[in-house]
Amino acid sequence: MPINPQQVRAQFPTLQREVRPGIPLTYLDSTATSQKPLAVLQAMDDYYRHSNANIHRGVHTLAEEATALYEDARAKIARFIHAPSARQVIFTRNTTESINLVAYTWARANLQAGDLVILTEMEHHSNLVPWHILQAERGIRLEFIPVTENGTLDLEAYRALLQQSPKLVSFTHMSNVLGSITPAAEMIGLAHQAGARVLLDGAQSVPHFPTDVQALDVDFLAFSAHKMCGPTGIGVLYGKADLLEAMPPFLGGGDMIKEVKLRSFRANSIPHKFEAGTPAIAEAIGFGAACDFLTSIGMDAVAAHEHEITAYALERLEEIPGLAVFGRENPHRGGVAAFTLQGIHPHDVAQILDSDGIAVRAGHHCAQPLHEKFGIPATTRASFYLYSTKEEVDKLVDGIYKVKTYFG
């Protein structure tokens, strides 16, 4: 069923507030982090009020309840991405840590000097810096799939790079600046034909449209709870079971061990091998509740609603003189509109919009090389989610006209 945004919005307390007296919030920054529904807040509150205990280590009632809630959340997330087993869902702090986990474990165990890793020019810093660190440490090679003028990846250049026998291809499923949705299934298939493993950054895709790791045949998938109606401080790395089993531990300490002696240890089985110490228990429970919430609405419905809102936003923004939306010509895009306004700095645009309660993001959005590619230091970014409305888009457009008036 199509989304009724007003019914959805009623479940998000933050969306009901005024940022200043008489000025309601217009939240257009969901690409940075989404708002949280009551179902998520209540699930976390219930855990702290009624079942607060550490997990996997106690046999008393609270410990068993907490453990069951934590592992049930893992199972919900596995179902949400169609993972074959919950054992393949590793809890991390966020997408960034998930990518670093692959870089520090799988990559350091499998990559040698001269080995090629293929990235793209549209990557978030989280999928660039870990590989720069490994390049400096290990001497691996990095090559980048170019971004075309319309915001898509140059697949012919990608095919040429694959002729160099890469060991890993790592790319975003959706750009947090251009909104471009990359042809992940096709790219993964081509990488596998070339003998490479694939790490997919799903931070901007998993929250916004259906994701099936088995259909994609992806080796690793990284994503975060806070961008999909869940809490901050927790994310997931999905991996194929044989890869996870072969990877060395990431961090050492409690819960990631099977046995410890003074001079040796044996690591636990997956997923616990990668979850050292007391985890973010309440956050995991909130993550599971977020998956339940999104499932109850339907990810196809979420994607359809965002497509409608984004199409309307692009149409309205196009009418503003001097405004340029990046990736505007790409038909395969998500709910992001990053733009520049001629002669006005993006931070000034965002600050004046905030005076009317309109929350957008300004800067390079942790994608500095992509901005350099287009010859600009920064953009203003409006982003949309399942609770966004056309009325909010109209407020944004009115606010931009106010910015233009302010700067003459």
Kindly list the domain boundaries of the chain, sorted by start residue: 5-30+298-406, 41-296
Q: Is 115 helix (H, G, I), strand (E, B) or coil?
A: coil
For 125, other C-beta atoms within 10 Å of its C-beta total: 15
In the numeric block, which tokens belong to residue 143?
């090559």
Q: What is the pLDDT of residue 225?
A: 98
Transcribe 16-77 into DSSP letters.
G-EEETTEE-EE-BTTT-----HHHHHHHHHHHHH----SSS--SHHHHHHHHHHHHHHHHH
| 367: confidence class by pLDDT, cuts 50, 70, 90 | very high
Q: What is the pLDDT averaged over residues 379-402? A: 98
* pLDDT single digits (tens) 281-293: 999 999 999 999 9
Q: What is the pLDDT of residue 254?
A: 87
32-38-41-46 Cα dihedral, nearest 10 degrees: -160
Q: What is the pLDDT of residue 264?
A: 93
What is the identity of the amino acid at 151?
G
- pLDDT at 1 > cutoff 90: no
- pLDDT at 408 > cutoff 90: no
Mean pLDDT, the chain, integer: 97
Residues in contact with 365: Cβ distance below 8 Å, sequence separation at least 6, in sequence order = 31, 124, 176, 177, 338, 379, 381
| 101: confidence class by pLDDT, cuts 50, 70, 90 | very high
Fold match between domain 5-30+298-406 and domain 41-296: no
Q: Which residue in the list 129, 155, 366, 376 is annotated as catalytic?
A: 366
**Is 3.90.1150.10 the CATH classification of the domain at 5-30+298-406?**
yes
Of all residues in the chain, what percent carry a pLDDT higher than 70?
Answer: 100
Residues in contact with 173: Cβ distance below 8 Å, sequence separation at least 6, in sequence order = 181, 182, 184, 200, 201, 202, 204, 205, 206, 211
- pLDDT at 170 > cutoff 90: yes
Residue of 282, 399, 365 whose CA lies nearest to 31: 365
Q: What DSSP designation does 107 have?
A: I
| 328: confidence class by pLDDT, cuts 50, 70, 90 | confident
Q: What is the pLDDT of residue 265?
A: 93
| 330: confidence class by pLDDT, cuts 50, 70, 90 | confident
In the numeric block, which tokens belong to residue 4?
């009724």
Q: What is the pLDDT averaged over residues 314-318? A: 97
Q: What is the pLDDT averaged over residues 99-121? A: 98
Q: What is the pLDDT of residue 294?
A: 98
- The structure's pTM equals 0.97
Q: What is the pLDDT averaged over residues 186-192? A: 98
Question: Is residue 229 annotated as a catalytic residue, yes or no?
Answer: no
* pLDDT single digits (tens) 39-91: 999 999 999 999 999 999 889 999 999 999 999 999 999 999 999 999 999 99
| 277: confidence class by pLDDT, cuts 50, 70, 90 | very high
Is 124 in contact with 199 (CB distance < 8 Å)? no
Q: What is the pLDDT of residue 156?
A: 98
* pLDDT single digits (tens) 203-258: 999 999 999 999 999 999 999 999 999 999 999 999 999 999 999 999 999 889 99
- pLDDT at 142 > cutoff 90: yes
| 329: confidence class by pLDDT, cuts 50, 70, 90 | confident
- pLDDT at 135 > cutoff 90: yes
In the numeric block, which tokens belong to residue 284?
């995991």
CATH topology of domain 41-296: Aspartate Aminotransferase; domain 2 (3.40.640)
